[in-house]
Copies of this chain bind each other. A is one copy, B any other.
Amino acid sequence: MKPIKVGLLGLGTVGTGVVRIVEGHQEDLSSQVGSPIVIERIAVKSLDKQRTISIDSSKLTDNPLDVIRDPEIDVIIEVMGGITGTKEYILEALDRGKHIVTANKDLMALHGSEILAKAQEKQCDVFYEASVAGGIPIIRTLIEGFSSDRIMKIMGIVNGTTNFILTKMSQEGASYEAVLSEAQELGYAESDPTSDVEGLDAARKMAILGTLGFRTNVELEDVSVQGISNVTKEDIQYAKQLGYEMKLLGIADRQDDQLSISVQPTMVKNTHPIASVHGVFNAVYVYGEAVGETMFYGAGAGEMPTATSIVADLVAVVKNLKLGVNGLKAIVPYKLKKLKTEEEIAFKNFILLQVADKAGVLAQITQVFAEFDVSLASVVQTPNEQHTDAEIIIVTHDASQANMNKVLKHFEGLDVIHRVKSVYRVEG
């Protein structure tokens, strides 16, 4: 059988994993698709770099265009990352009728709709399973597994770095700064961790999941984002006392056709399945109107898990190629997007206040919540024997974001409130 020829853009960790799987599982793969799969050309940054796998040097080039313009190549696997430049390579490859498999969440979150439109025009496949939650086949699950259902809510732990940090803080009572340093030493966090810890990486993935789950075009700017850099060990201790785990959750939900998509540190009831996802693991919880609760758990990153998803996409492309149906099953968002306003977005809140320790304070504070129509689930004042400031912990029922903002604004003018120490979303 004539082999299927693949071009690889990038030979870092994940690219190396792809080569390992395609070569190591060749028999399994060719049994599935009916012909050998050959990695024909590979674009690398440096031709001279020492590598952990042996590669015929004639396959290497430092010019991605050599790969994209090779007429023998049917499929391009993009694992070089980046946005500018990479986008143009992918668009040119599509123009030349080549199918794309990519792990590039940044590119898909920012330019997914343009790339998918070009793919449709050229009847090419663009698959990107590896862009969200590395080893978990969540994208094909949203597209195919739940095609008949109406997905109402997606909650994801989609960033391993922040989950590692929060897990360690919770299990060891350590501070954010201490655990971040440790994560950097272990290679779980980058030297500039901003994209992870400020929630940007998670936001990109939630834009992709929201688009697929709700079949509308969720863009990065539709996602409200808050990171974990202000989470204190005190917050996590309070969370545990109340029966919650602190997690950086991406949450996409809808009521009727009104959407909201956000990423924020969230206190999750410890009986919820996603509360027990620890360390660098990822999980995506999906609530469907008909199917109810489901959750998908696995490695979020890493050479081999990510490479597995990429090669599974490659197998799907090659099967389509043999059947002559590439580009025909792509999901194209078809619903008009309606984002919820601050009045419509509602959830439970945890609020930690530092207040004057004197009679009547609690009455003044609860009065403010009542005034703005926020009803309370629990109010606890911590015992304070020194008669310095006291702390009050409040958990609300579902309250609109608009009303909560009014409450917090009003707190600024209240003398008895010395500081609003923390405010967190609560789930489950």
Contact = CB atoms under 8 A, between A and B. Distances in A.
A148 to B, nearest CB: 3
A424 interface: no
Interface residues of A, number: 54
B148 A137 contact: no
Nearest to A37: B148
Contact of A308 (B32, B148, B281): B148
A312 B145 contact: yes
B293 A147 contact: no
A254 to B, nearest CB: 13
A24 B288 CA distance: 14
Nearest to A18: B148
Contacts of A144: 137, 140, 144, 312, 315-316
A325 B310 CA distance: 23
Interface stretch (A261-269, A298-306, A405-413): A298-306
Given A25-B148, A144-B316, A294-B296, 15 more contacts: A25-B150, A32-B331, A135-B291, A136-B294, A141-B145, A145-B309, A149-B311, A276-B276, A290-B305, A291-B309, A293-B299, A294-B299, A295-B295, A296-B296, A323-B328
17 contacts: A135-B288, A136-B294, A140-B140, A140-B144, A144-B312, A146-B308, A147-B316, A276-B276, A290-B304, A290-B307, A290-B308, A292-B305, A294-B296, A295-B295, A295-B298, A319-B329, A323-B329
